[in-house]
Every structure is written in C-alpha cells, then in structure tokens.
Chains A and B, each alone.
Chain A
Amino acid sequence: MKLRVFRWSGNTEHVPRYDEFLLEKDPDVYTVLDALKSIRATHDPSLAFRTACGAKMCGSCAMLINNKIKLACATPLTSFKGTITLEPLPNLPLVTDLIVNLSPFWERLFRVRPLLETEADEHQVITSEVQFLVEQFGKCICCAICFSVCPVMGRDEMHLGPAALLMNYRFLVDPRDKNYYQRLDHVDHYHGIWGCDTVFRCTDVCPREIPITQAIIFTRKALIKEKLLASM
C-alpha cells in the first residue's frame, strides 16, 4: 500500500509536490493517522500534520483522504486498496503540508457570538428533552469538515458556513439564552441561513452525526414564523 502525501514547505518560493511512501504491513499501524505518525518517525520527521487525541474527539486531523474529507484517526487503512492520497482541507488557506489556517473558520464562529448570556431565573426548569437538544448541537468539535465540504463556502467568501450556523442554533434552542431575536436577526441574510444550498453534504460528513442542515432549516422556520407573527 502506498501513501501519497501533499507537501509544501510553507515558503511561497517553493513549489508544492507529492511525496510517496511505501507502507509495510504493521499491526500497530491501523489508521491513516497511524501511518502518518509512522512515516514521520521513520522516514521524514519534517512531515507536518495536526494531531492530538487520535480518538475522534478533538477534531485536529481533518483532511482530504482520496478526495473525501475525513478525520485521519478514524479512517482505517483497510478501507483502501492501492494508493491513498492525503491532501489538506479545501476552502482554507494553506500553512504547510497537511496543515491549513483555520482563522477563517474561527472568525465565522465568533461572528455569531457563541456565548451564553442569560437573565434566566436560577430555578428555571429545564427538562431532559430540552437538554438533549442543546447537547445534540453543542457537541460540535469544530473540526471544520462541514466548512470544507460546503459548496457555498467555495463561491461566497462572506458566507457564515455550516458550523457557525449550527452553533447559533445551539443557542437558539437553549432556553437560558436571552438573545433569541438578535440571533435570528443576525443570520437573516444571504450570507447566513438563506445562502445554504440545502444539499446536506455537511450532515453527511459530520463525525459527530449532528444534523447540521436541520439546524439551518429550523432557523429558517423560526424566522418565517416570527415574521408572519410580525413580532420582529
């Protein structure tokens, strides 16, 4: 099995290239991430990639694996035959090798003010159903896979993107949050919820199986409802 990895030094005077590494059968090397670590340790210590938990929980190792966006730590080598090509995430500026600059992602996330501001009564009753909703959307690990797979990100630089819209929805369904109307208003434009193509690519690839498109559609419904009731 061969691993073909995108390499770029980070210096604009150097041209990117693909390096090929032959993978020997090794029971300790089970996932794509294991393969990257093994190559770095034995062949090329300059191979640059992000990794932390190795257990599908931190979101560090998102990349293109044979043209599909996945977490390298959760992608077994056994699901491939022949050559596996590794490339950095699309839709984001390149830093080096498989590392991208996530600033555009974080910037959009913070644009929706993802902060709980509450005037809620301490004794406000929150049931398990409500808690489940908040948890379902708040468990986003900010891996940027949805951001990278989104076709709208490719054509509209100003678009907020799936993760930011999902995070906004997490606060919309949190009964403690006092900014419900401001949150709806803030995404009520073409670069917000109305720009979504509703192709469900984000929902398909989310490693946490969050129904991201649902969050966007439900935000639209909430907005329509508020406008019809003329309370906006």
Chain B
Amino acid sequence: MENVEQVCHDVLVIGGGIAGLRAAVQAIDAGSNVGLVSKVHPLRSQSGMANSVNSAFRAGDSWESHAYDTVKGSDWLGDQTAIKVLCKNGVNDVLELEKFGVLYNRDKDGDYVKKPEGSGGQSFPRSTSVTDYTGHFILLSLFQKAMSSNQMTLYDEWFISTLLQDESGDRIGGALGFDLAGGKLWLFKAKSVILCTGGCGQVYQRTTNALPVTGDGMVLALNQGVPLEDMEFIQFHPTGLANSTILMSEGCRTVGAYLINDLGERFMSKYAKDRLELAPRDIVARGIQQEILEGRGIGGKSYVYLDLRHVGKEKILKYLPKGRDLAITFAGVDMIQDPVPVTPSQHYSMGGIETDINGATRLKGLYAAGECACVSVHGANRLGGNSLLDVIVFAKIAASDASKYASNANEPKLNSSIVNEEIQRLSSISTREGGSNPWPLINTIKETISKCAGMSRTKEGLSEALEIIKNVRDESGKVGVKKQRYWCGELANCLELLNLTTIAEAICTSAILREESRGSHYRLDYPKRDDNTWLRHSMLFKDHDDYRISYKPVDIQEWPPGERKY
C-alpha cells in the first residue's frame, strides 16, 4: 500500500459539528488521543446554524415534564428510558457548555432569560439561547476548546469513503479516506470510531440542510452491517422561506408570530386548537400543507405568511436579529413591517444509525451521536430545541464510552485486501474514461424523493420512487471524474451521489412498509396511528445490494401511548 499515509488514534471522530466537537472534547478529557475528520472545516458545519437548546434547569420546571413533552411530541415512538436520560442530563449538560466559553442570554439582573412561551410542544419556556446565534457559539467555543489540546489532530477537508473492521470481524478497526487537497489516501486506524456526520436532508429538493449534508455517516455504518433505524421519519419544518428554503426558526413563533392564510385567518386553530402555532412541527407543517392544498395559500400560491408585525420592533431586534437579517437578505422582507412568506421544508432526520443508550452501535467500538444517530429520543417527530440537546448529551455519553473502550483495546489489525479493494474502487471512479456527471442523477433523486417521500406518502408513490432510484443506482455505476485535478471535489461529489442513492432507498423502503401514520410519517392510504401493530422501530439492514427490514418494540415506561392533541 504505497502512497497511503497511516495513522492510529484511540478515538476517531468523523464529523466536526457540535456532536463531533463535543465528543472530541469529552474524549480528550478522558485522556484519549483523538483524530477529528471532517469534509468541511468544523466551523462550516450545519449545527452552527441552530437557534436554541432546551434545558429544564429553571425554577418551576422539571426534567420529568420535559421528558413527557418529548415522549408525546415523538408520537410515542421515542424510547422513554433514553428520553429520560436526555432530559435529566440536559439540566446540567447545557449550562456546562458555559465553561467552554458559551454565554447564554441573561436579563438585567443576571438571571438566565426565560422566553415568553414554551417552543413547539413544550409545556414550559425552557429554551435557552445566545439570542439566535446559539449553535454558532456552542460550535465556536467547543472548536476553540478542542483545538487548544495537543491530544487532538484535526483533519479538515478530508473525505472518509469507508469504515474498516478489525480482521477479527467483531470490532471496528478504523476508516479509509482522502485529503480533498491533493487526493492523498489516508488509512486511519482507530480503537474506537464515533460517527457524528449529521443528517441526510440533501436527498430532498427543498431542505434547510447545507449542501454537504448527504448522510455519509449513515451509509458508512449501514455498509458495515449496522442497521438504520426509523428512516421513514423525516421532519419537515413548517417555516422555510418560500423562495429559498432558508429556515425561519421556531424562535419566531416562540416570541409570538402568527401563521396566516389568504383569508387572513390564524388557521392553526383548526389543527391544534390549544397550542396553535406552537404545536409540534409535523402538525404545523401538515396544517400549512392542507391550507395550500385547499387553495388558501397567499394569492392561491404554495406559501402562507409568518406574521410578526404585532410582536413589535423591540422584541424582534432583541430575540431575532439573525432571523430578521435572513428574511431581509433572502426574501427582501423586513419582518418588522411585513409578513414573511413561508412554506414547509425538509429539516431533520429523526431516524439514523441504531445506537443504544450509550451511543454504541452493534459493532463493538463503533459509536454514533447527533442527527446521524437514532437512540431513539425523537421517535416520530422531534421537538424544537431538542436536537442541540440530543447532540450535547449523547455526544458526551458516547465519547465517554468510546474512550473507556479504547483504553482497554489493542491496536486493531486491518485486512489489507479489503483496504486494497476500497483503494481500487476510488481509483476506478477517479480514472473512469468518459465517466458521466453525477449532478443530473443527484437531481433525479431529489425530485423523486421530494415528490414521493415528502409530507404525504402512498404505496404507489413510494413504489414508483423505488423504481426510479433503482435506475439511478444502475446509472451511478458510470459516473466519473471529468478532470483529474489537485482538488478532489469531483470524486467527493460522486461518492455523495452514491450515499444519497442509498439514503433514498432506505427512506422509501422503510416508508413503504410502515402502513400507518405517526408523527411526521403520513400515509394517505393509512391515515391513522396503529399502536396495535406499529408501536415499534424499523431497522433496515443492507447486505451487499439487498435490504431487509426487521422491527423492535418501543421502550415504554411510565407513559403509555395517549391521544396526541394540542
């Protein structure tokens, strides 16, 4: 294996967003030697865009109440023991970030700010933020903390193309990747690996997710025999800017924004008569979609208005400076004076790599945390502010476990024929004569998934999607790099196409088999929730080109399924 650099780490973290950085900081603290690999610079990660995080530390609040809200919000598909860990640990773990540099909003007396309302589906105003730059501050502070340690090596703008197992076959061994600048191959041996690669939103046309969010880590795990859990549950955020998909955060509704249709009505009273705009996201998104379908979108078009005029200039400038700037820059609208056109956009993937309550997958030494993982704490629908919480709590837990595992593990031995196979695969894509351009195929996937696996699904639609994706899969064997250059962006795009194809297959396969509607998964042909048959998680396995699915029960503790009314 000439021309391949080799390095060995105790803990290899793949993905440099808040999950990856929180894991790295924790692993460093536990004494591990850490390698952090990211295909974009960590500060460019999606999680830097997040707006607030929930924590039940305030007087008058309780983690039990937060846990119940989360269980109900998940449409009872969330695993309750894990949710209790999420909410209980969240009481300390969120404020703990202040020791790394984060500084949450205070009021004039120095107390933590309490917003006027609980965010979507929350019974108490527990969202904690740094105005609307929360994700950025957490990302930047954790990055600064991690980089200050000499126990960590950052590989930024490196692409991981496959995980590798120890030759014993029963634990992780590391990963193979390449430096985007120059294309040099790197063999990363690792005693433990933590996948923190985020979601898969780029499989949709209208998504709030950044361009690099192509589900890479989910596919890396799937290819090692680890199942993807609950992939049919995709969240559509109700308020993406209509003309661009940039997110208008839930924070707008938490400070009192209304959703208005063409008749000027606050239509959410029809779909969630108590919480209205602050019902969980799947309910609000479906409400908006229904209004549009019935012709009550603004001017008959496919958007409604997010109206903050009554909230007032002072509150808007205080709580939503970034949000206001986004609406001005990308929609030409100042929310102080005008209503903002919004429509649902894909936003989050509740499903992902199956992990246990310690962030461990079925493959010893392989962990996952953040949006790419499914513990499951979000079940069929995630509440706003719980994603950052998930990332903070479970990245910490996974890293502790991974460090402990690594400290007791020997250096792995890798199977050189598997490594060579992968090097061959990459080389064949890079040097393919007359290789085709991956982008038209990527667009086909996006169009197909958006049409058939969106907010409302049918058996016919999903079958049609699977047929089209199969064709894409066949065609994707012909993509290649047009010009062999120093910068390997083209190779990365070809690999992303392959990942998106797998994600598309995973979503459609899981969705077509779940014959009920629950949370964000809505079947026009099976519109009711069916707890008798479907109170269970789907687990999708991939063996070479074949998928098989199995199911496991939901962990129900003190909260049996109830009616999901808001």
Contact = CB atoms under 8 A, between A and B. Distances in A.
Given A102-B41, A127-B106, 7 more contacts: A30-B244, A52-B44, A52-B210, A59-B43, A60-B40, A125-B110, A135-B133
A131 B106 contact: yes
Contacts of B339: none
A48 B487 contact: yes
Interface in A78-94: none
Contact of A55 (B41, B106, B326, B483): B326
Interface string A119-150: 00000011111110011001111100000000
A48 B144 contact: no
A174 B489 contact: no
A115 B145 contact: yes
Interface string B330-364: 10000000000000000000000000000000000
A163 to B, nearest CB: 12
Interface stretch (A36-44, A198-206, A222-230): A36-44
A57 B210 CA distance: 10
A131 B133 CA distance: 13
A40 B218 CA distance: 26
Given A56-B326, A60-B40, A128-B107, A45 B137 contact: no
Contacts of B133: 135, 139
28 contacts: A9-B485, A10-B181, A10-B486, A37-B211, A45-B439, A46-B483, A52-B212, A53-B46, A54-B211, A55-B247, A56-B326, A57-B48, A58-B49, A95-B486, A96-B485, A96-B487, A97-B487, A116-B100, A116-B144, A125-B110, A127-B108, A128-B113, A131-B106, A135-B130, A135-B133, A138-B140, A139-B133, A140-B140
A74 interface: yes
Contact of A128 (B105, B140, B493): B105
Contacts of B91: none
A130 B105 CA distance: 10
B440 interface: yes
Given A53-B49, A95-B181, A45 B44 contact: no
B416 interface: no
Contact of B482 (A10, A41, A44): A44
Interface in B400-444: 437-440, 442-443
Contact of A126 (B110, B131, B485): B110
A126 B106 contact: yes
B557 interface: no
Given A53-B46, A139-B133, A11 B101 contact: no
Nearest to A101: B181
A interface: dominant SS: loop
Interface residues of B, number: 60
B243 interface: yes
Nearest to A37: B211
Contacts of B481: 46
Interface of B: 40-41, 43-46, 48-49, 98-101, 103-110, 113, 130-131, 133, 136-137, 140-141, 144-145, 147-148, 181, 210-212, 243-244, 246-247, 322, 325-326, 329-330, 437-440, 442-443, 481-483, 485-487, 489-490, 493
A181 interface: no
A159 to B, nearest CB: 21
Contacts of B131: 135
Given A51-B211, A52-B210, A141-B43, A99 B103 contact: no
A10 B485 contact: yes
B504 to A, nearest CB: 18
Contacts of B110: 125-127
A110 interface: yes
A48 B105 contact: no
A59 B44 contact: yes
Given A57-B49, A102-B41, A114 B144 contact: yes
A182 interface: no
B44 A10 contact: no
B101 A141 contact: no
B485 A116 contact: no
A80 B493 CA distance: 30
B437 A45 contact: yes
A118 interface: yes
Contacts of B148: 113, 115
A46 B48 contact: no
Contact of B109 (A42, A96, A115, A127): A127
Contacts of A128: 105-108, 113
A46 B103 contact: no
Contacts of A37: 211
Contacts of A129: 108
Contact of A10 (B104, B107, B109, B487): B487
Among A44, A52, A131, A142, the most chain B Cβ lie within 10 Å of the Cβ of A52
Contacts of B247: 55
